[in-house]
């Protein structure tokens, strides 16, 4: 068994209260990417919630690595949009701006509707990607995968639908929009505990696409995204 460290320390930070990092574990022979992976896991599992400060000293001690490794891992996560720099406070887990939520979902709805309407003329590889993403989501749900894996698989279904447009520029925008919501989405999915219902809803979208019922897909997408927005909004205002 590889040697692992588990931190027992609790850090007190002025203005933020008591911070707990002791759920974090890492193989002693870690790399920057392994450190980033463990931080991602903790974020998606809800152990490091949005807004939580990320202190280099505490994380280095908890993960059993040097501060330079932590610094590089945080830079990776900043580039992914999972972590932000807070003026005068350092680095923290990213939190979705409630005021931006409506705009994010309006943009998602336009992009995914465009993808659905492109289905009849989309090349086979793009259609297959939608099918494969739904299958992967269902398989991970059946295996009770970690929240981060489920959130990525959930988002990948919607990404594959938008990708039916065949536009790389639109897909770049889709990725940016998903980057803003994925942590909050993972939190909502954990709270709702209805991943099997979510999988069934996405399987229904795929079935409608394959039947050529495009208008029905568009209506179902609008309902699905509206429900997701309401759930995220409720989570942000608790």
- Here the CATH number for the domain that contains residue 46 is 1.10.10.10
C-alpha–C-alpha distance, residues 88 and 105, integer Å: 31
What is the reported pLDDT for 23? 65
Indicate if 81 and 130 belong to the same structural domain: no
SS3 6: strand
Single out the residue in 70, 93, 116 at which a domain terminates: 93
Indicate if 70 and 121 belong to the same structural domain: no
What is the reported pLDDT for 204? 96
Indicate if 140 and 191 belong to the same structural domain: yes
Single out the residue in 63, 93, 123 at which a domain terminates: 93
Indicate if 127 and 225 belong to the same structural domain: yes
Residue 49: which domain range?
4-93
Indicate if 231 and 119 belong to the same structural domain: yes
Indicate if 107 and 50 belong to the same structural domain: no
Beta strand ranges found along the chain (DSSP E): 4-6, 10-13, 17-20, 25-27, 83-86, 90-93
C-alpha–C-alpha distance, residues 90 and 196, integer Å: 38
Single out the residue in 52, 76, 93 at which a domain terminates: 93
pTM score over 0.85: no
What is the reported pLDDT for 228? 84
How many domains does the chain contain in total?
2
C-alpha–C-alpha distance, residues 105 and 82, integer Å: 19
Distances (CA, A) of 25 to 52, 119, 191, 216, 228: 18, 44, 24, 46, 32
Indicate if 84 and 113 belong to the same structural domain: no
Indicate if 124 and 168 belong to the same structural domain: yes
Indicate if 139 and 79 belong to the same structural domain: no
Per-residue pLDDT of the chain (238 residues; tens, 9 = 90+): 444 444 344 334 434 444 556 666 655 444 789 999 999 988 888 888 888 999 999 999 999 889 999 999 999 999 888 899 888 888 999 887 777 888 889 999 999 999 999 999 999 999 999 999 999 999 999 999 888 888 889 999 999 999 999 999 999 999 888 887 877 777 777 766 678 899 999 999 999 999 999 999 999 999 999 988 888 787 777 6
C-alpha–C-alpha distance, residues 155 and 178, integer Å: 7
């Amino acid at each position: 068994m590889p040697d692992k460290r588990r931190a027992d320390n609790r850090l007190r930070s002025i203005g933020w209260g008591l911070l707990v990092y002791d759920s974090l574990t890492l193989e002693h022979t870690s790399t920057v990417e392994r450190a980033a992976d463990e931080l991602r896991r903790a974020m998606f599992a809800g152990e490091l919630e949005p807004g939580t400060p990320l202190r280099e000293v505490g994380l280095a001690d908890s993960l059993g690595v040097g501060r330079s490794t932590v610094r590089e891992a945080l830079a990776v996560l900043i580039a992914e949009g999972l972590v932000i720099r807070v003026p005068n406070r350092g680095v923290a887990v990213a939190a979705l701006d409630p005021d931006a939520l409506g705009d994010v979902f309006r943009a998602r709805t336009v992009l995914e509707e465009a993808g659905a309407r492109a289905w009849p003329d989309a090349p086979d590889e793009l259609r297959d990607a939608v099918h494969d993403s739904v299958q992967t989501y269902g398989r991970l749900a059946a295996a009770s995968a970690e929240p981060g894996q489920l959130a990525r698989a959930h988002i990948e279904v919607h990404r594959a639908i938008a990708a039916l447009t065949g536009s790389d520029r639109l897909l770049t925008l889709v990725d940016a929009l998903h980057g803003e919501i994925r942590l909050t989405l993972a939190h909502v999915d954990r709270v709702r505990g209805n991943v099997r219902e979510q999988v069934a809803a996405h399987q229904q979208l795929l079935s409608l696409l394959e039947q050529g019922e495009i208008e029905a897909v568009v209506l179902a997408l609008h309902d699905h995204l509206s429900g997701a927005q309401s759930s995220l909004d409720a989570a942000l205002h608790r």
